[in-house]
Structure 1
Amino acid sequence: MALAGALVWATTAHATSPVDIPSTMSQGALAIAHAPPGSAVRVNGKPVRVGADGVFVFGAGRDEQGPLKIDVAGRAYSVAVTPRDWPIERVEGVPPKTVNPPPAIAARIEREQALVVAARNRDDAREDFNHGFTWPVTGRISGRFGNQRIYNGDPKAPHSGMDIAVPEGTPVKAPAAGVVTFANPDLYLTGGTVLLDHGFGLSSNFLHLSRIDVKVGQRVQQGQVIGAAGKTGRATGPHVHWGFNWFGVRLDPLLLPGIQAP
């Protein structure tokens, strides 16, 4: 079952209006909403893309307190954000140089992350996200989105995605159609890394891959193999890290349309 409070498809909050926006959503959730085609829409003051069919999207980050303010053609809507509990995850046995890297390595990490951030800034008109999502691999969830991470006893940033433990070499499949915007087999922290853009600023990222089977600019379909699970970068064992973003806002893949908790 989906987690409580996760409104990933918009519900009709205003029955007499053509605008379709959820009245509440969970921290970490994605909302797929609708406005009259051609409407100007802003989320917390920022203009967002509206499709020819009136669809638009927005997300509530891990620490979003809300309410989110949505403006549709001058009409104001408010979306309450439901808080979640964030457990602590302790990860031991991580190579020390990946937890507290020396200055030269820290500079490399910063350069690599800047490339990833740039790839997430695309705002394509494609609506690949609008057909639901499937699991990239099937396995035990070994790390959940948003949980506070402590590596070798050293507190670090909250976990940015979902870890799925599977044997090394397990094929990783696209959870939805999209265009590959980043592919690199050897990033320092994340190892083999692929970003797949689903349109409207929504993107999936897959980390620690042992093999990459796609190239930047390639169009892939839902279910197509994009690489293989591994333990490259900062990893203690083979798994797939599946992250999901709305531009720079990290969201929980477990709350996406079509995804059900095991």
Structure 2
Amino acid sequence: MRRSAMAVMLAGLLTALPVAAGEITLDGEPVQGALVTGTLTPGNGALEVDGRPVQIAGDGRFVFGLDRDADERTELVAEWPDGERLRRALDVASRDYEIQRIDGLPPSKVTPSEEDLQRIRREAAMVREARRRDDPRTDFTGEWRWPLHGTITGVYGSQRILNGEPRRPHYGIDIAAPSGTPVVAPADGVVTLVHEDMFFSGGTLLLDHGHGVSSAFLHLSAIHVAEGERVRQGETIAEVGATGRVTGAHLDWRMNWFDRRVDPSSLVPPMPGS
């Protein structure tokens, strides 16, 4: 049976239609300290950010981080199975950072001994290993919440001067609260590290949110979850403390994309009452 002239013409038109080009769509603006999410369309492609492979979810979603001192330009390169490539350069907005002076710290916490340095290196290696995780979970998507409400006493990126000596910048958000105040999960995640007493950070807890995104909660007095445990947003995971290198009780909440340190405050609404 021969096809009708209309069917032949329609088939020809469909064949002549161009294949949609691959696209990269970003949510939010690239700025130093940002956690940038986006979508690759179609989602069966591969993506690199500054030459680093980025995991793509089944629906095309991806995430990458820009650290405190990110260069003014970052490059995304996508490639699809048919050989199509898309290169996209992003201008990264710079930020101005505060200078924060903290006095009254024990001298041993500012200038550790050789024995303490060895301990610090061991603990840092544990944290680096936990942050290498690259799960396919997409817990980083959706709305985030503060792990507790309180007075913000330290902000991301600030240059710290400890006992009068310039030191590394601060990479977290410090929230003052009494010891024992509950700390909740800001998003779904899996517990990847629990340590009762690290040299600098005291009671330390890491949550993995998928695709290399992780949260760290420092100076805790108690931890209520175990490594490997799946937690849900809003679930109590720990309690505020004054452990490690501190001058008072508070939570230091930090976030990473692998080894890039990002600003947790960029993911949550303003602190209530601030």
Same fold (TM over 0.5): yes
**Which position in structure 2 is the counterpart of 1:44?**
50
Give TM-score, length-normalised by structure 1.
Answer: 0.91
| Residues in 2 aligned to 1:177 and 1:93: alpha-carbon distance in whole angstroms | 37
Structure 2 unaligned runs (5+)?
1-20, 80-84
> Does 2:50 align with 1:32?
no
SS at match of 1:107: helix
TM-align CA RMSD: 1.3
User: Are the aligned partners of 1:24 and 1:80 in contact in 2 as well (CA < 8 Å)?
Assistant: no
| Residues in 2 aligned to 1:113 and 1:184: alpha-carbon distance in whole angstroms | 12
User: Are the aligned partners of 1:23 and 1:80 in contact in 2 as well (CA < 8 Å)?
Assistant: no
Distance 1:168 1:32, change over 3 A: same
SS at match of 1:210: strand
SS at match of 2:209: strand
**Which position in structure 1 is the counterpart of 2:243?**
232
Give TM-score, length-normalised by structure 2.
Answer: 0.87
> Does 2:166 align with 1:160?
no
Work out which of the residue numbers 83, 89, 109 in structure 2 matches 1:98. 109
| Residues in 2 aligned to 1:150 and 1:199: alpha-carbon distance in whole angstroms | 34
1:25 deviation in Å?
1.5
User: Are the aligned partners of 1:163 and 1:242 in contact in 2 as well (CA < 8 Å)?
Assistant: yes
**Residue type of the alignment partner of 2:71:** Q
Identical pairs, percent: 46
Structure 1 unaligned runs (5+)?
1-15
1:19 deviation in Å?
2.4
| Residues in 2 aligned to 1:244 and 1:173: alpha-carbon distance in whole angstroms | 15
Q: Could you list the runs of 4 or more consecutive aligned residues of structure 1 that deviate by over 2 angstroms after TM superposition?
A: 16-19, 21-24, 258-262
Q: How does 1:243-254 map to 2 (within 5 A)?
A: 243-254=254-265
| Residues in 2 aligned to 1:128 and 1:86: alpha-carbon distance in whole angstroms | 29
**Residue type of the alignment partner of 1:91:** I
**Residue type of the alignment partner of 1:54:** G
1:18 deviation in Å?
3.9
Work out the number of aligned pairs and report it: 246
**Which position in structure 1 is the counterpart of 2:270?**
260
1:66 deviation in Å?
2.7
| Residues in 2 aligned to 1:30 and 1:79: alpha-carbon distance in whole angstroms | 14
> Does 2:208 align with 1:203?
no
Work out which of the residue numbers 143, 146, 158 in structure 2 matches 1:147. 158
